């Protein structure tokens, strides 16, 4: 039979989704279900002096009204439990919840929530990350010493308003700067942005005897189970988490918000309680990509080769660190300021600050778009100063096998030079441009996913296979991928493999979707299971044959990519259009050809939004872009055709040599666009690159 991987995949959940029969968390319902609504703070920072719930309780249909006093001392978080389920003594951002209502109808719950009467005493608020980290800044978490950290002890921080802090140094930066022919320094800034997935968070919680059931949009059900066990003080095996289809995630759905108060409401009422977050609340209280201010200083020799690099990275973590799963409580790639380049000596310092903004969390390649925008703009400015073609400068500095990167790690292999050579060819780099046009380049690199999981496979009499996994599918095609890996290994048609996503009671522990992990980890577990099935079958075992496939993916490897983007600029208005784009991506073996293209094209559009228009604008702590009318993401009219070149011959550690693509290619779009606009005449140092900023830059003002 022909190779399964050569045929474009059919999504296993595709029919359900396009016919509207797919069920999401917001569709879950149970007999006797109540509806929840919440009262949030109107102040960015205030003491809670009193909460009067009498009027709320009097609303017909209201079954329970809980306040901070009822849940104290429950705090939640993915790693650091610093976010009170309901605030009892202090609110830290506009929207921070102080009360939760369960009622017979959503309308009654909303009405009651609006009647919760809270007496506040305003406290000085701090919105700027540098101000928050200054000596004498108002403290946002005076009780931080009491907070629990899941699994690890909290690394020390240099300031009580720091969520996380890291310093890295390798080589001899002082000597490298001394040896440099030129030293350049630039500062760039990015606002927080939102993932803008279609499906808002939703959850349904009920308690059945000793068992707590949760239907959720959380894409990492086992992590939610562990967090809920910690928050509620119940055993993990007394909690069952069901995640149906997830309607988009991009990293945001790793943090649960409503599940915690719903648990307490379900406990006091004895009824199932559901909530569906309004999108306005998604934009006002959920975890965003971190806003950042990044200062880079780089020394280069006469040929533009990097001799030393220094970076100071500041992230706005908002009011809580709860959205961050990694122990350093920073965006994952906080330190990757020159990703994909040879950096012989570096000192990188990154700090994530508490502020009275809405909490930041994980968003597709956390930390990378920020650092990529800064680094790619910085290098482009250096190229222009040196009079070196920007692509040429990148070719000279691209990391090669045997070089060390910005983390001081040596790369044993690098596709980066090949990626750039291919980009030069495929984009027609150097071809003369029409007047008013500009062309920009940016490269990027991302580590492939790591982690471990297991899944169960059963081969029946007919030779068909059922795979049961605890992994969720947030739209990336995880279940389809698993089926195709098994089908290919067993040389059967993909339709003969059924992949079932099961709840936490019926699946081995699973790390969930995230960190570009699924194809690397779940794909390898599926491959392992398929090999075991084949071995047992060949050894004459009688069906049904049941095996557990496992994987522990620890390989250290990167995927590389680069963009060339062309813009057309209107010098009178500052408006510009991206008219052409080329992406060369080193993706290894392709398992889901349609999904790989979808992830890369989607990542391009995603990055384009951040470059062109996305900004969660916050004024005095209030999000003023709290609907998709104001918070703009690209429409199809804003996205040009993307010329996509895949390098598939450098195998990765995934099944059959696959690499990760989900978070590979969104980060560098911002730099490529900024550099193209600069080539057309306007260097803009903050995102998004609005027409207004471009016009200011064209007129020589600050942008």
Partner 1 sequence: MPVLIARRLDEALDELAAHPDTTVLAGGTDLMVELNFGRARPARVLAVDRIDELRQSAGGSRVRLGAAVTYARLLRDGAGSRALEEAARTVGSPQIRGAGTVGGNLGTCSPAGDTLPVLAALDAVVVLRSARGERRVPFAEFMTGPKRSVRRSDELIVAAEWDDAGPAQTFVKVGTRNAMVIAVASLAMVIDRARRRVGIALGSCGPTILRAPDAERFVRVLCDEAGWDRPLRLSEAERTELGRLVSAAARPIDDVRGTSAYRRHVLGVIAGRALARLGAA
Q: Is 575 in the site for partner 1 (CB under 8 A)?
A: yes
> How many residues bind to partner 1 according to rule CB under 8 A?
24
Instruction: Please identify which residue in 7, 155, 635, 681 interacts with partner 1, judged by CB under 8 A.
Output: 635
Using rule CB under 8 A, residue 690 touches partner 1: yes
17 versus 571: smaller Cβ distance to partner 1? 571
Residue 8 CB coordination number (10 Å): 11
Tell me whether residue 466 or residue 691 sits nearer to partner 1 (CB atom): 691
Asked whether position 280 contacts partner 1 by CB under 8 A, the answer is: yes
**Between 119 and 627, whose beta carbon lies closer to partner 1?**
627
Taken in order 587, 593, 599, 602, the sign of the CA dihedral is: positive
- SS3 at position 445: strand
Closer residue to partner 1, CB minimum distance, 113 or 658: 113
**CA torsion, points 654, 657, 660, 665, in degrees to nearest 10?**
170
Q: Is 636 in the site for partner 1 (CB under 8 A)?
A: yes
What separation, in Å, do the N-terminal and C-terminal C-alpha atoms of the chain show? 59
Q: Which of 1, 50, 539, 637 binds partner 1 (CB under 8 A)?
A: 637
Q: Please provide the DSSP assignment of 283-329 as one string.
A: HHHS-BPPEEEEEEEEEE-TTS-EEEEEEEEEEEEET--TT--STT-
Nearer to partner 1, 401 or 624 (CB): 624
Residues 540-559 that bind partner 1 (CB under 8 A): none
Beta strands in 209-267 (DSSP E): 211-216, 239-242
Give me the least distance between CB of 632 and partner 1, in Å please. 5
**Is the torsion defined by CA of 526, 520, 478, 509 positive or negative?**
positive
Q: Kindly state the smallest distance separating residue 653's Cβ from partner 1, in Å.
A: 39
Taking Cα atoms as reference points, which of 612, 607, 565 lies closest to residue 584? 565
For residue 20, state whether it binds partner 1 (rule: CB under 8 A): no
CB of 630 to partner 1, least distance (A): 6
Give the one residue of 187, 236, 464, 638 binding partner 1; rule: CB under 8 A: 638
Query: In terms of CB distance, is 273 or 612 closer to partner 1?
Result: 612
By CB under 8 A, name the one of 10, 407, 632, 643 that touches partner 1: 632
Alpha carbons 371 and 391: distance in angstroms, whole number: 19
> Is 629 among the residues that bind partner 1 (CB under 8 A)?
yes
Mask of contacts with partner 1, 104-133, x by CB under 8 A?
------x-----------------------
Between β-strands 306-318 and 346-354, what pairing exists: parallel, antiparallel or unpaired?
parallel
Alpha helices for 571-642 (secondary structure H): 593-612
User: Using the rule CB under 8 A, which residue among 535, 627, 649, 681 binds partner 1?
Assistant: 627
Strand partners, 501: 469
For 89, the enclosing helix (H) or strand (E) is: none
Q: Least CB distance from residue 360 to partner 1, whole Å?
A: 20
Residue closer to partner 1 by CB (options 161, 625) is 625
Closer residue to partner 1 (CB): 278 or 531? 278
Of 210 and 637, the one with the shorter C-beta distance to partner 1 is: 637
For residues 500 and 244, the answer to whether their CB atoms sit within 8 Å is no
Among 159, 312, 577, 622, binds partner 1 (CB under 8 A): 577
Q: Any contact of residue 617 with partner 1 (CB under 8 A)?
A: yes
Q: Is residue 136 within 8 Å of residue 303, measured between CB atoms?
A: no
Residue 613 binding partner 1, by CB under 8 A: yes
* Helix 518-538, helix 478-490: angle, nearest 10: 30
Q: Residue 579 burial by CB count (10 A; 0-12/13-18/19+): exposed, middle or buried?
A: middle
Return residues touching partner 1 (CB under 8 A): 110, 280, 572-573, 575, 577, 612-613, 617, 624-625, 627, 629-630, 632, 634-638, 690-692, 695
């Amino acid at each position: 039979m022909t190779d399964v991987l050569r045929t474009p995949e059919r999504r296993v959940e595709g029919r359900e989704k396009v016919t509207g029969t797919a069920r999401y968390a917001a569709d879950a319902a149970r007999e006797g279900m109540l509806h929840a609504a919440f009262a949030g703070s109107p102040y960015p920072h205030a003491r809670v002096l009193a909460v009067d719930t009498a009027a709320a309780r009097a609303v017909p249909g209201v079954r329970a009204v809980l306040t901070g006093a009822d849940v104290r001392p429950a705090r939640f978080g993915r790693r650091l439990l610093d976010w009170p389920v309901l605030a009892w003594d202090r609110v830290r951002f506009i929207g921070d919840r102080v009360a939760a209502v369960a009622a017979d109808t959503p309308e009654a719950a909303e009405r009651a929530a609006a009647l919760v009467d809270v007496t506040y005493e305003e406290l000085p608020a701090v919105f700027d990350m540098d101000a928050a980290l200054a000596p004498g800044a108002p403290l946002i978490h005076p009780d931080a010493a009491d907070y629990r950290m899941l699994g690890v002890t909290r690394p020390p921080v240099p300031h009580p308003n720091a969520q996380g802090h890291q310093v890295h140094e390798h080589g001899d930066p002082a000597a490298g700067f001394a040896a440099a022919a030129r030293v350049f320094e630039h500062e760039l800034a990015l606002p927080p942005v939102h993932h803008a997935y279609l499906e808002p968070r939703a959850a349904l919680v009920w308690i059945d005897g000793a068992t707590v059931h949760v239907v959720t949009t959380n894409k990492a059900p086992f992590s939610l189970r562990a967090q809920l066990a910690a928050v509620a003080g119940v055993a993990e095996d007394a909690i069952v988490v069901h995640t149906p289809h997830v309607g988009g995630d991009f990293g945001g759905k790793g943090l649960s918000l409503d599940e915690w108060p719903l648990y307490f409401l379900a406990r006091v009422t004895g009824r199932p309680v559901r909530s569906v977050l309004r999108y306005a609340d998604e934009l006002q209280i959920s975890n965003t990509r971190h806003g950042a201010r990044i200062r880079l200083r780089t020394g280069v020799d006469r040929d533009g080769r990097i001799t030393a690099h220094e970076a100071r990275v500041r992230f706005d973590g908002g009011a809580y660190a709860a959205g961050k799963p990694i122990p350093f409580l920073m965006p994952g790639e906080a330190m990757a300021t020159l990703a994909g380049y040879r950096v012989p000596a570096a000192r990188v310092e990154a700090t994530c600050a508490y502020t009275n903004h809405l909490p930041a969390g994980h968003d597709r390649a956390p930390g990378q778009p920020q650092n990529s925008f800064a680094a790619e703009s910085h290098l482009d400015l250096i190229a222009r100063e040196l009079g070196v073609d920007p692509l040429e400068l990148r070719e000279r500095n691209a990391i090669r096998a045997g070089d060390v990167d910005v983390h001081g790690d040596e790369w044993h292999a690098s596709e980066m030079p090949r990626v750039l050579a291919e980009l030069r060819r495929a984009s027609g780099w150097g071809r003369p441009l029409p007047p008013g046009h500009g062309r920009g380049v940016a490269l990027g690199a991302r580590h492939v996913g790591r982690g471990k999981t297991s899944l169960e496979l059963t081969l029946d009499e007919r030779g068909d296979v059922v795979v049961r996994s605890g992994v969720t599918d947030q739209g990336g095609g995880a279940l389809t991928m698993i089926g195709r890996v098994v089908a290919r290994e067993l040389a059967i048609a993909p339709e003969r493999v059924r992949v079932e996503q099961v709840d936490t009671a019926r699946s081995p522990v699973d790390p969930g979707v995230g960190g570009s992990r699924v194809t690397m980890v779940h794909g390898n577990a599926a491959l392992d299971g398929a090999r075991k099935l084949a071995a047992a079958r060949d050894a004459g075992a009688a069906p049904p044959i049941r095996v557990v496939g496992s994987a522990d993916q620890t390989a250290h490897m990167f995927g590389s990519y680069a963009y060339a983007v062309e813009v057309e600029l209107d010098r009178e208005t500052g408006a510009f259009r991206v008219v052409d784009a080329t992406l060369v991506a080193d993706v290894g073996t392709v398992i889901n050809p349609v999904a790989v293209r979808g992830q890369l094209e989607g990542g391009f559009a995603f990055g384009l939004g951040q470059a062109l228009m996305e900004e969660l604008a916050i004024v005095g702590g209030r999000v003023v872009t709290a609907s998709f009318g104001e918070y703009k993401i690209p429409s199809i009219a804003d996205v040009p055709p993307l010329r996509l070149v895949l390098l598939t011959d450098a195998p990765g550690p995934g099944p059959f040599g696959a690499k990760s693509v989900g978070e590979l290619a969104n980060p560098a779009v911002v730099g490529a666009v900024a550099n193209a606009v600069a080539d057309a005449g306007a260097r803009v140092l903050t995102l998004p690159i609005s027409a207004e900023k471009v016009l200011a830059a064209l007129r020589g003002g600050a942008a």
